[in-house]
Structure 1
Amino acid sequence: MKPYHQIVIDECGEPLVPIPTEHFAFQIPHPYQKLGAPYHNSKADSPYYLRQGVVDSLIAAQTELQQKYQNWKILIFDAYRPVEVQQFMVDYTFNQIALAQGCEFPVSEDKRQVIIEHVYQFWAVPSLDRAMPPPHSTGAALDVTLVDENNRLIDMGSPIDEISERSYPDYFGKSKEPQKLEYHRHRKILKDAMIAAGFQQHPKEWWHFCLGDQMWAWLTNQNNSGSQFMARYGRY
């Protein structure tokens, strides 16, 4: 159980809608679809869906970004993720770590517990409990980065989904190396645009932002003493 699971969900019933292609760049082909993730059972025909209010705020974030970086775009790496896909990616990540550590399959129970705890530091538990939905399964969380006017990725210093401390948003913030400080500056550009539009950033993932789900409400309450926001988006 994560701390944000204490937040009550008051589902608003807002629909899941496609992210408009004219405003953003997209990771195509989608990285999890390439791996065989089971989107065919999804309520949306692609991963690039979000709740309507989240899409509206994402457009506002793009507008905010382009006030300072006119030809840059937010690139959508991932958005709506059914619980079945969450389970697939947890299993895939577990197997990748086990292989990298030279484990024999089936992995012993002791080793399995160590690996799965490591996985769950970055991946949400694929729970079917409606009181504890994975953030992406609500249609209110997304993974994003930036591209320049030539559609080239802006270097953030580490790739999306890397399971290491380099993924922490401020990891490079206190470095004295110019290149690493540039990574931090890029991450801050992304964060500033998203926060200005009402999003909250995952404390351990520079790429993950949310609006209206349990994590968003929990972070908003943490950042604003005395606030008691509830989540308005549950599992879709």
Structure 2
Amino acid sequence: MRTDYLNIPIRDCGEPLQEIPESAFPRMHPHPYLAMGAPYPGSPWRLRSGALSALYRAQSLLSARRPGWRIALFDAYRPLAVQHFMVWDAFRREAQAMGCLTRLASCAGPDALERGDPEIYALLAPKVYRFWGIPDPDPCRPPPHSTGAAIDCKLVDGEGRDVSMGGPVDDFTDRAIPDFFASALPGTPEYLHHQNRELLVLVMTHAGYARHVGEWWHFSIGDQMWAHTVGADCALYGRVGDG
């Protein structure tokens, strides 16, 4: 579990959340976590104003390199309650895969599981938190998406078709690793996957975002993970109220 970035101080600049225009950035329909019953009190398609401006810059860079291609969104703002819902769902799926689902029956979340069954928590937590941010209520340790400064995204071509990235968003296998296809030979499908991932990270980082070390689709700007990646003294965005 990579949590060292959570030690970086936050000096929130106070920027508000803004709606992300679907006309500019195509999105998943329906929203994948809403479809699962995640408790969103408002729109998930929001970002801090500075993060949204950076996303427009990334789109401009992409358009210059691949006319007609667009950055498509899978997820953006995720309140803490939604993070808790999705993390607990991930625990249940991991428990089911390992044949220990019944041991979660009396628990209401990862905190209760850690207290009530530390053995099974120790077994499942590294698998879950490899990809999911810990839903810590401490405002000094927010999950990245709860800051309104992180997105999960992919590329689509001029016809709106998915560009091949070597696996879908939220593919929680080793294929999620950004450089998973880096050794592929030219002319192979795997080489194309890697080239497309490299294009996405190029336009996003040139626009100011930083990529998650373990997920090709996750980018953030101004949060603690971003600060850790770029060497900033502090984060610009903390957790946004769950409204």
TM-score when normalising by structure 1 = 0.92
Q: Distance in 2 between matches of 1:197 and 1:86?
A: 26
What are the within-5 Å matches in structure 2 for residues 14-33 of structure 1? 14-33=15-34
Residue 195 of structure 1: which of 205, 210, 235 is its match? Answer: 205
Counterpart of 1:194 in structure 2: which amino acid? M
**Identity percentage of aligned residues:** 42
Number of aligned residue pairs: 226
1:174 is aligned to 183
Counterpart of 1:6 in structure 2: which amino acid? N
Shift in Å, 1:165: 1.7
1:224 is aligned to none
The 3-state SS of whatever aligns with 1:50 is: strand
User: Residues 19 and 55 of structure 1 are in contact (CA less than 8 Å); yes or no, is this contact kept in structure 2?
Assistant: yes
User: Residues 220 and 229 of structure 1 are in contact (CA less than 8 Å); yes or no, is this contact kept in structure 2?
Assistant: no
User: Residues 92 and 101 of structure 2 are in contact (CA less than 8 Å); yes or no, is this contact kept in structure 1?
Assistant: no
Q: Distance in 2 between matches of 1:206 and 1:48?
A: 20
Moved more, 17-26 or 122-131: 17-26
1:140 is aligned to 149
2:10 is aligned to 9
What are the within-5 Å matches in structure 2 for residues 1-236 of structure 1? 2-40=3-41, 45-107=42-104, 109-176=118-185, 178-221=188-231, 228-236=232-240
Q: Distance in 1 between matches of 2:205 and 2:150?
A: 13
Render the CA deviation track for 1:107-143: whole Å, top value 9, x for unaligned. Answer: 4652332112210111000011011000000001110
Q: Distance in 1 between matches of 2:89 and 2:45?
A: 21
1:225 is aligned to none
Moved more, 81-90 or 99-108: 99-108
Moved more, 201-210 or 151-160: 151-160
The 3-state SS of whatever aligns with 1:17 is: strand
Q: Distance in 1 between matches of 2:40 and 2:165?
A: 28
Counterpart of 1:46 in structure 2: which amino acid? S
The 3-state SS of whatever aligns with 2:152 is: strand
Ranges of 4+ aligned residues in structure 1 off by more than 6 Å? none
TM-score when normalising by structure 2 = 0.89
Counterpart of 2:92 in structure 1: which amino acid? N
The 3-state SS of whatever aligns with 1:105 is: helix
Shift in Å, 1:229: 3.0
Counterpart of 2:163 in structure 1: which amino acid? I
Q: Distance in 2 between matches of 1:198 and 1:120?
A: 25
The 3-state SS of whatever aligns with 2:236 is: coil
The 3-state SS of whatever aligns with 2:219 is: strand
Q: Distance in 1 between matches of 2:119 and 2:189?
A: 40
Counterpart of 1:29 in structure 2: which amino acid? P
Q: Distance in 1 between matches of 2:218 and 2:127?
A: 18
Shift in Å, 1:106: 1.9
Shift in Å, 1:9: 0.3
Counterpart of 1:192 in structure 2: which amino acid? L
Cα 1:173–1:77 shift into 2, 3 Å: same
Question: Over the residues paired in the alignment, what is the CA RMSD in angstroms?
Answer: 1.4
